[in-house]
Chains A and B, each alone.
Chain A
Amino acid sequence: MTTPVLEIRNLHARIEDREILKGVNLVIPQGEVHAIMGRNGSGKSTLSYVLAGKEDYEITEGEILLNGESILEMEPAERAAAGIFLAFQYPIEIPGVATMTFLKAAINAQRKARGEGELSTPDFMRAVKEAGAQLNVDSAMLKRPLNVGFSGGEKKRAEIMQMALLKPALAVLDETDSGLDIDALQVVSKGVNALRDGKRSMLVITHYQRLLNHIVPDVVHVFSDGRIVESGDKDLALQLEAKGYADYDGQAA
């Protein structure tokens, strides 16, 4: 059996004195899209930050393996170069830095970290053009400072565009549907689906089933009080939508 792209074993994490992740176990094989659903405050976003290596969190127990290698000792930038991409729920503004500039800096930083040469300008432009077309990101938007004054839809499109250009092994999408109207949701979902190539794995975090109509997951996990309490196929998301999370509250306690 091939090594899964992501394997999380009994992961416990805390911020200051509060334990948020309380024994997460999760395996995502190559090419699969897994969804994590759960209430606000159940620890879903924490899981995404812990995967990306945000320093506010302390891992107290457990292991995270990316393609079989532990990433716990890796800095956020190293994890990015190793193939972890986090699409932020609230993308951050970088004033004065044109989106295009940022994209190029990110791509080349990762390439350099992997010992690859820099992308030539024509190759970069070609990649940007391709990714931009898919996500309705035009050259005017690329000249604007990253995320500054972007609408909710523009921010999410810019996130997915970065993902398309950075070609991660594992994409973590944190509440990508938040702040999107139905049209924007379709554009973003189309962009995400275009990146499902049978190799790339994804972890889609959401608390609405709606997104999963557009990005259809292979596996759905229910997250409650810091751990996965149930897993199933895409129909599990529909059940959750109908019945809510109340059934799982008892288990989590």
Chain B
Amino acid sequence: MADYDIPTLKEEIDRETVEQVLALDVDKYKYGFESDIESDVLPPGLTEETVRFISAKKEEPEWMLEWRLDAFRRFQTLEEPTWAKLHYPKIDLQQISFYAAPKSFKGPKSLDEVDPELLKTYAKLGIPLKEQAILAGVEGAAESVSTPFGANVAVDAVFDSVSVVTTFREELAKVGIIFCSISEAVREHPELVKQYLGTVVPVSDNYYATLNSAVFTDGSFVYIPKGVRCPMELSTYFRINEKNTGQFERTLIIADDDSYVSYLEGCTAPSRDENQLHAAVVELVALDNAEIKYSTVQNWYPGDKDGKGGIYNFVTKRGDCRGVNSHISWTQVETGSAITWKYPSCILRGDGSRGEFYSIAISNGYQQVDSGTKMIHLGKNTSSRIISKGIAAGFSDNTYRGQVSAHAKAKNARNFTQCDSLLIGDKCGAHTVPYIESRNGTAVFEHEATTSKISDDQMFYCLQRGLNEEEAVALIVNGFVRDVLQHLPMEFMVETQKLISISLEGSVG
């Protein structure tokens, strides 16, 4: 008789997932609340004055203002793209306020300055990480806090537009890591920002990226020096809080030669009727032999059960494997937003560089997701791997759109793509749109795609064993996404399994 292992943590988590689902209200967005913090809000509208106001608010140097104004001028020549399989009313940028900052902050230096209302908001979020203690406590709290799995997590919390709290910075500074808000980086580390900002996602890259370049309000900045392995997972949470405020995050992560960093981004947002625009830009730069892992759990308000409200999420995320043997890995879990337009991509420039994209995209209700990746092979012996799991339920539409290309010089480029779609019910749609382009005869690209449904037989089997319908769907879907879940940092895996169940509530019966 073989020995039995203790059930893996994942199995333990599966069980917890089911419990937690049952503890929750079905038809309510769990994080749908508004916190009542006084905000400094710019009146709606987008003009050159808006850009100047934001720059002035941030006390930015002249070169940054010029960079923004250049983006603003280019933006005025651009048209909103329509190629995605998304349907939504035209967004009137003149109706959006481009800046909102919690009033009680002026470049917070210590946690004592944190508005109690804000801390309450974080408490309500109920994120399974231990940042609560950090955010609620004094500076000393940060050192005593770690995740249940031993690895430390540093948090750069973004509340609307101003980076509120940055913890662990001293510890990180000891090894030369810079982890701060992008606004602060503009002031404190202009040489790095000037050198890298806009080099992965150029100012004029696309409509939303250009808009972001003109009006970005805040975001995170990370620099990992040569040879440094970041001792903890870096983490940030974004929330969209101010009514009718577009959220324009800008994140820049640079991993210098032989360095490593894992970055986690997680999001929840309060519910409301008005659609909210979110257009973030994330740029990653990996130099020689460097590795960046970027994980996202996105849980923004998807709109109500009739399709009203919800976040419009137009994000440009791109990583540049600039150095030889560099490695960038994107892992994303997309469960929220009314509209998702998002293609975290890798430019495989350095010889021997590697790009990965692991994605779980769940759509329910009237959500629309058009997401995927681009793997652009430029260097020799570059490889990439794409595993995408799309789950469509309710009346939603879920499109995987991916591009894999090999440049003429990309000798021995390799790609493996697997796109699996799972349909729940018969009113939703799953679509796979791969673009594959090879200009080098030695490149080998493989693409596999499947579409399946949760069968009545699977459901009946699970029900016969005593699971109720929602438990059965959660179990089957968690099985379906298992390949991708394994790539998430442990603490995100827990949150993700919960999210999967929550986001599929009401999809059966």
Contact = CB atoms under 8 A, between A and B. Distances in A.
B464 interface: yes
A170 interface: no
A79 to B, nearest CB: 8
Contacts of B8: 98
A145 B1 contact: no
Contacts of A98: 8, 11
A105 B3 contact: no
B458 A113 contact: no
B4 interface: yes
B6 interface: yes
A94 B459 CA distance: 10
A48 B2 CA distance: 34
A145 B479 contact: yes
Given A92-B457, A92-B461, A101 B11 contact: yes
Contacts of A100: 7, 11
A139 B4 contact: yes
Interface in B440-471: 455-458, 460-469, 471
B466 A132 contact: no
Interface stretch (A12-20, A121-129, A197-205): A121-129
Contact of A109 (B5, B457, B467, B480): B467
A31 interface: no
Contact of A86 (B15, B18, B464): B464
Contacts of A96: 478-483
A140 B18 CA distance: 24
B493 interface: no
Given A105-B14, A125-B7, A110 B466 contact: yes
Choose among A95, A107, A133 the residue with the greatest number of B CB atoms under 10 Å from its CB.
Answer: A95
B12 A77 contact: no
A166 interface: yes
Interface residues of B, number: 38
A104 B14 contact: yes
A216 interface: no
A118 B481 CA distance: 26
Nearest to B458: A92
A133 B1 contact: yes
Nearest to B467: A109
B14 A109 contact: no
A52 B467 CA distance: 13
Interface string B471-489: 1000110111111000000
A179 interface: no
Contacts of B6: 121, 125
Contact of B479 (A95, A108, A109, A118): A95
Contacts of B475: 94, 97, 101-102, 105
B1 A104 contact: no
A125 to B, nearest CB: 6
A135 B453 CA distance: 32
Nearest to B11: A101
A139 B461 contact: no
Contacts of B483: 96
Interface of A: 52-56, 75-77, 79-81, 85-86, 88, 91-98, 100-102, 104-110, 112-113, 118, 121, 124-125, 128-129, 132-133, 138-140, 142, 145, 162, 166
Given A105-B475, A106-B465, A121-B6, 13 more contacts: A53-B463, A80-B464, A85-B464, A94-B462, A94-B475, A96-B479, A96-B482, A97-B14, A104-B7, A104-B14, A106-B467, A132-B1, A140-B2
